[in-house]
């Protein structure tokens, strides 16, 4: 934070008190001179308030945010996370490059990144901005995104204010990449992903696949599911808020679509707003898509 040096109002009051106090009998001429000085100082104070330069960002929560920019990307943060920001900004730049490479074109619009320094602060923001406000996010929820903003809980407190999240560099990068896919998707979608009903399998599955979050361990579990009666019978079965494998199931489905029907089809699907439109873009029925996915998982080399 950078400020220009001027006298504060309290300092001016302290200087003014001797000539304004009735207990101090100053001659009239001397008093007029001192009053003139005081008025001049007050004028300077007023000018200072309009000329003050503060390296902070205005925000609806009235919290002092600082900002750092690189390659057209602005990251907003607070003082407790100042030491992390340079590395985080580098990871955002790397994530944008990866997402752009996946889709074959740059982000259509600019966006910002905001790092929350506490769970309570992020929950408050979350409750006022999500489609269906909630009292607090689940402990594993450490990031989210819109077409204009990627916001993330500071990795500095993942071990104390989150669960099942390791603050190692790879995990941080995966989280950033995942959310940047959402930003890109939202910028190309007519309703900006706010109404996710019937499309969550695509929205979250795309973010998982494009950010390369599926591991060999995931594929082993997926093979077991695909080979059991618990396998998805409809697209809605790939995603559920309480299903343990929702992310990996959805991500594997998008990988199947990508490898089978091509990246161009994935790009065409970005602007679709209903399940029916998504299936039309792929060019298959829901039953055929699921059957093809099952066969793909069963023969995938990583699925041991």
pLDDT tens for 267-294 read 999 999 999 999 999 999 999 999 999 9
Answer yes or no: is 250 within a domain: yes
Section 207-235 average pLDDT? 94
User: 218: domain range?
Assistant: 196-304
Q: Based on the domain organization, do 155 and 225 belong to the same domain?
A: no
Give the per-residue pLDDT at 41: 46
In the predicted model, is pLDDT for residue 88 greater than 90?
yes
pLDDT at residue number 214 = 95
Residue after which a domain boundary falls, among 147, 164, 190: 190
The whole-number pLDDT of residue 195 equals 72
Does some domain include residue 231? yes
- Distance, CA of 155 to CA of 91 (rounded, Å): 13
Residues 107 and 183 occupy one common structural domain: yes
1 in a structural domain:
no
Would the pLDDT of 296 be above 70?
Answer: yes
**Same structural domain for residues 151 and 266?**
no
Looking at the structure, do residues 123 and 155 belong to the same domain, yes or no?
yes
Q: What is the mean pLDDT of residues 54-64?
A: 52
Task: Write down the pLDDT at residue 164.
Answer: 78
Report the alpha-carbon distance of residue 44 to residue 125 in Å, rounded. 38
Residue 40 lies in a domain: yes
Residues 32 and 102 in one domain: no
74 is a domain residue: yes
pLDDT on residue 19? 37
pLDDT at residue 29 is higher than 70: no
Lowest mean pLDDT, pick from 5-14, 22-31, 279-288: 5-14
- Which pLDDT belongs to residue 107? 98
> At 170, which CATH number?
3.30.2010.30
Q: Check whether residue 61 and residue 183 sit in a common domain.
A: yes
What are the C-alpha distances in Å from 172 to residues 84, 93, 154, 214?
12, 13, 10, 15
**Are 140 and 223 part of one and the same domain?**
no
Whether 43 and 65 map to the same domain: the answer is no
Q: Which two tokens stand for residue 4?
A: 């220009």
Please answer whether residues 239 and 250 qualify as being in contact, where contact means their C-beta atoms are separated by less than 8 angstroms: yes
The residue among 123, 149, 120 whose CA lies nearest residue 57 is 149
Q: Is residue 232 part of a domain?
A: yes
Contacts of residue 289, Cβ cutoff 8 Å, sequence gap at least 6: 235, 253, 257, 279, 282
- Could you tell me if residue 154 is left (phi over 0), alpha (psi between -120 and 50 degrees) or otherwise beta? beta
> In terms of domains, do 80 and 178 share one?
yes
Report, as an integer, the average pLDDT of 107-116.
Answer: 96
Under the banding of pLDDT at 50, 70 and 90, the label for residue 254 is very high
Cα–Cα distance between 199 and 295 in angstroms, integer?
22
The predicted pLDDT at position 242 comes to 52
Residue 168 lies in a domain: yes
Residues 149 and 162 in one domain: yes
Residue 3 lies in a domain: no
Pseudo-torsion of CA 160, 161, 163, 169, nearest 10°? -70
pLDDT of residue 125: 87
pLDDT digits (tens, 9 = 90+) for 133-157: 555 678 889 999 999 999 999 999 9
Where is average pLDDT lowest: 62-71, 130-139, 288-297? 130-139
Split into its structural domains, the chain has a count of 3
């Amino acid at each position: 934070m950078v400020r220009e040096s001027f006298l504060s109002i309290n300092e001016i009051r302290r200087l003014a008190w001797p000539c304004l106090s009735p207990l101090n009998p100053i001659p009239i001429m001397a008093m007029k001179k001192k009053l003139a000085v005081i008025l001049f100082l007050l004028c300077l104070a007023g000018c200072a308030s309009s000329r003050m330069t503060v390296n902070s960002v205005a925000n609806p929560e009235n919290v002092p945010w600082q900002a750092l920019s690189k390659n057209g990307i602005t990251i907003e943060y607070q003082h407790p996370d100042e030491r992390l920001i340079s590395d985080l900004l580098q990871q955002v730049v790397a994530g944008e490059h990866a997402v752009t490479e996946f889709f074959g074109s740059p982000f259509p619009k600019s966006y910002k990144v905001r790092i929350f320094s506490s769970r309570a602060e992020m929950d408050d923001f979350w409750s006022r901005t999500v489609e269906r406000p909630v009292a607090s996010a689940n402990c594993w929820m450490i990031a989210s995104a819109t077409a204009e903003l990627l916001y993330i809980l500071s990795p500095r407190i993942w071990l104390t204010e989150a669960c099942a999240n390791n603050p190692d560099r790879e995990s941080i990068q995966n989280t950033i990449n995942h959310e940047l896919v959402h930003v890109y998707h939202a910028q190309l979608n007519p309703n900006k992903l706010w109404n996710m009903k019937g499309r969550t399998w695509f929205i979250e599955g795309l973010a998982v696949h494009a950010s390369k979050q599926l591991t060999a361990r995931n594929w082993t579990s997926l093979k077991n599911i695909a080979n059991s009666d618990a396998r998805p019978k409809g697209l809605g079965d790939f995603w559920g808020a309480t299903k343990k494998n929702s992310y990996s199931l959805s991500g594997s489905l998008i990988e199947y679509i990508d490898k089978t029907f091509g990246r161009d089809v994935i790009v065409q699907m970005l602007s679709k707003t209903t399940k029916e439109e998504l299936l039309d873009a792929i060019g298959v029925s829901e039953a055929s898509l699921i059957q093809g996915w099952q066969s793909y998982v069963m023969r995938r080399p990583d699925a041991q």
